Structure 1
Amino acid sequence: MSELVDIFVASVRDGFVQVSAFVAVTVLVFSYVQYKTDGRLVRRLEQNRKAGPLVGALMGLTPGCGGAIVMMPLYVRGSVSFGTVVATLIATAGDSAFVILALAPEAALYAYSIAFVSAVVFGYAVDTVGLGVGRIDRAVSRIGRTVTDGGYVSPPIGSQIHHYEEAQGCEVYDDDLARHSSLLTPLSHVALGAWWIAATVALVAGVLYLLRGAPEVPIVAEPTFAGAFTVFGITGAALSFYLYFVGRHYVGHGHVGRAKDTFANVQETLTHAAMETSFVTVWVIGAYLVYEYGIVFTGIEIQAVAAAAGLLAPIAGALVGLIPGCGPQIVLATAYSQGALPFSALTANAISQDGDALFPLIAIDKKAAVIASIYTTIPALVVGVALHLAFGPLFGFGVLG
């Protein structure tokens, strides 16, 4: 029982200090850059449609899903081509990028560079030669009718995938209106402020931890480095769970990870970063616990299983990427950082995953979303298997510590 408690406390603490504190800083930086460039980007894209796949890949490459989400309504309005959508989704790093950037930056550099190149090549290929998009379009039509009207993008570029009017009443891009409670509203804002204090101290502790060579840190509550590492790690994690499950409804960020990023002021930017980071924290800690308890209760070394799987490992990574949303991808990225999965599986997942950017496309045009998912999985399978054959499994490549 003591071992199980220690695993729980260490996972909660380490998840916040080693990952979440760094995620918060990254979200702030990329959110600000995205906000400052959003309007100019749209205007330039509409003036130069041929640059669509390249720009889409760059937007998808930004950590988190905000950059990719921005591109989806542009396709719906006919401002960009379907190849741009495919390139954006192939390059989409999602929230799992925060985990890899924090725990395995070298692996992130290679994996996302490969994903970016694949996105640009495949995006332009879809726009210029189609790659059988029309045939897949007809096949998907036989499976189920789209909820929209079945027109075409005008003017069409390469792919003839249909373009539809934006679905009426779709609220994918809007934050939930904040609820009001005489108790929970002020409590949630206090928790938000306390969260940033915990994140700031945890960031300092996390940097010192890396500078010291990632040593074992005892679980203590005392005025020392280990005490600050433990106390603020646990406090920050607890506040993250509160903000994600309760507080987000009272600060106006109900659709965590799916809402269009809006940063009208400093408070809005800080709130968005805290909500996004809390979402990542919940999934990372969950992944830590599943991994650690899985080993304790089953005695199975996941790395050994993945090594025995051979080529099935990158194939599985690509198939996990088919699942919309960032949660499953964060679990996979965390498993990689624990040395449980090969680099080929990480890269295949980085290419295949669409993150939260697929949700607005699903809401507006289910058929286009299905076809786009198919076209992000193909290069994921090809590249993942090729990497595995060329370099082997590469467990722990680029992982810190």
Structure 2
Amino acid sequence: MIDQILNLILDSAEAAFLEVGVFVGAVLLLFGFINYKKSGAFIETIKTSQKFQPVIGAFLGLTPGCGGAIFVMPLFFKGAVTFGTVTATLIATMGDAAFVLLASSPLHYFLISAISFVVAIITGYVVDKTGLGESILNKYKMRKKDKVDLDFEHKQYDHVLHEYECEKMGCKNGYTHIGHEEGDEIDLLLHHELKGHMSHETFGYRFTHSAFYIYWFLMMVGLPLGIALLFQVDINELTNINLGHILGTIGITFSIIMTIMSKKFLDHESHEEAELKVMSLKETFVHNALDTAFVITWVFIGFLAYEFGILGLGAGDYALGEATMEGFLLATGILSVLIGAAIGLIPGCGPQIVFVALFTRGLIPFAALFANAVSQDGDALLPLLAIDRRSAIWATVISTIPAIIFGLLIYYFEIRWFN
């Protein structure tokens, strides 16, 4: 039994790092660079294109990760975008779970993206017709602090970190905010009252901002092996040292250490960190390494949960456990869609990544994955919660409704046509 458990752990480590993780890292680097180059331009476009704001918001939400979606949230409270744009952005976003799905099942990723993009746009325009956004914004403005109080509070906070980051990392245009201004209420909430970037004086900062070089080296070494696995090559048979297990274990261990050092477990990207990534290419490389480590850690957790769940269901007999699980999935059926939508209500990306990881193991139907993708808001919901909880609750409720409706429709067609 101990040998069986050890093999499950090693296989899960290899799968999480080499079958998924190295591709997630490659995709994250690509989109991270695009985000570094274009995020500011996208935000300026959405502010000046009022007629098409829900469309642009849905597009920003559709890009893997949470960076684009995070920047849209403060714009609503500045009166620059509509609440329909906020909901369209949140409906379209899959957060970091998108990287896992794109790396492991591109066809399903593009299918979900296409459907959720349309659903997001329709919902966004419908929300704007209701006048809900005006009501939320008016109540928010009534609670805002006056400028004298804001200036006083702003002076009480330490601003050394921003200056240090730009001096150390080389911000291309100095430290500039995206979606709000220095010293406004949103600045106080998102950059000072919320947990933002780690202080450069901490061990975690020094470790992550040095070790990211090693982490990307591991990714470069692992990527050819991951490609070999795609072509069904047994890399453990190529040598006598079980290369896949060794590199998978090293990669998972390093991923977990990086995640612990960054102190990110459920949610991992703050508005402040998203801004720094846009301003500094080195910060993009550092935080993309942390993002990759975060994703891989949760994929590993998902794979382990699946493997041990199967083993437990079969009381130590893996084949029996698989048969029992298949029976359970047939029995739950439509309930899985509701479960997917419910899990999507949890802020942050961790549980959503596990959900996608379980889908890659055949444990979850496509309709449930779609419901989760539409319902979840990733890290983008966190700034909304910090600024105005009422708007966050409304956005969450609204995004859950199409998640359930379209999830059930997709489930109906999935059962009717593909079973």
> Is 2:14–2:245's contact at 8 Å kept on the other side of the alignment?
yes
- 1:52-80 superposed Cα distances (whole Å, 9 cap, x missing partner): 10010000001111111011111121110
- Corresponding residue of 1:382: 405
The residue type equivalent to 2:217 in the other structure is: I
Q: Given that residues 253 and 275 in structure 1 are in contact (C-alpha distance below 8 angstroms), is that contact kept between their aligned partners in structure 2?
A: no
After superposition, residues 79-228 of structure 1 pair within 5 angstroms as: 79-130=80-131, 133=132, 149=142, 166=186, 168-171=188-191, 172=194, 174-181=196-203, 188-210=208-230, 212=231, 214-218=232-236, 222=240, 227=243
SS in 1 for 2:274: coil
Where 2:282 maps in the other structure, the secondary structure is: helix
CA gap of 1:173–1:82, structure 2 versus 1, over 3 A, is farther
TM-score, with normalisation over the residues of structure 2?
Answer: 0.79
Change (3 A) 1:15 1:148: farther
Q: State the distance in 1 between where 2:81 and 2:195 align.
A: 19
Q: Is contact 1:112-1:347 (8 Å) kept?
A: no
Relative to its length, the structure with more helix (as a share) is 2
Contact (CA 8 Å) 1:343, 1:393: kept in 2 or not? no
1:308 matched to 2:331? The reply is: yes
2:76: which partner in 1?
75
Shift in Å, 1:281: 1.0
Matched, 1:26 2:49: no
Q: Does the CA-based 8 Å contact 2:267-2:347 persist in structure 1?
A: no
Q: Deviations over 1:288-342 (max 9, x none)?
A: 1111001101225444323211221111111111111111111110111000010
Question: C-alpha separation between the residues in 2 aligned to 1:219 and 1:177?
Answer: 45
| Structure 1 match to 2:169 | none
Distance change >3 Å, CA 324–CA 253, structure 1 → 2: closer
Mapping of residues 344-363 of structure 1, within 5 Å: 344-363=367-386
Offset at residue 179 of structure 1 (A): 3.0
The change in CA–CA distance for 1:237 and 1:380 in structure 2 (over 3 A counts) is same
The residue number in structure 2 matching 1:57 is 58
Q: Work out the percentage of aligned pairs sharing the same amino acid.
A: 35
Matches of 1:109 and 1:21 in 2, distance apart?
A: 20
Residue 268 of structure 2 is matched in structure 1 by 256
In 1, the alpha carbon distance for the partners of 2:365 and 2:102 equals: 16
Any conservation in 2 of the 1:321–1:329 contact (CA below 8 Å)?
A: yes
Is this contact kept in 2: 1:15–1:284, CA < 8 A? yes
User: In structure 1, what is the Cα distance between the partners aligned to 2:31 and 2:353?
Assistant: 19
Equivalent residue letter for 1:65: C
1:359 is displaced (CA, Å) by 0.3
* Contact in 1 for aligned 2:266/2:349 (Cα 8 Å): no
Q: Tell me how far apart the structure 1 counterparts of residues 223 and 287 of structure 2 sit (CA, whole Å).
A: 18
Q: 1:209 Cα deviation (Å)?
A: 1.6
Mark the CA change 1:294 to 1:191 in structure 2 (over 3 Å): closer, same or farther.
same
Shift of 1:102: 1.4
Partners of 1:76 and 1:218 lie apart in 2 by 54
* Structure 1: 4+ residue segments shifted above 6 A: 134-137, 252-255
Give 1:104 shift.
1.2
Whole-angstrom distance in 1 between the partners of 2:308 and 2:130? 49
Question: Quick one: distance in 2 between partners of 1:234 and 1:10?
Answer: 9
Which residue matches 1:160?
Answer: none
Give me the whole-angstrom Cα distance separating, in 2, the residues matched to 1:394 and 1:9: 37
Mapped pair 1:297 → 2:312: yes
Q: TM-score, normalised by structure 1?
A: 0.83
Structure 1 vs Structure 2 CA RMSD: 2.9
Gaps of 5+ in 2: 145-183, 315-320
Work out the CA distance in 2 between the residues paired with 1:216 and 1:275. Answer: 29
Structure 1 unmatched ranges of 5 or more: 138-145, 152-163
Q: Which amino acid aligns with 1:305?
A: F
Distance in 2 between the 1:39 and 1:167 partners?
17
Deviation at 1:208, TM superposition (A): 1.8
- Count of equivalent residues: 364
In structure 2, relative to structure 1, the CA distance for the partners of 1:120 and 1:188 (3 Å cut) is closer
CA contact (8 A) 2:95 2:379 kept: yes
1:185 shift after superposition: 6.5
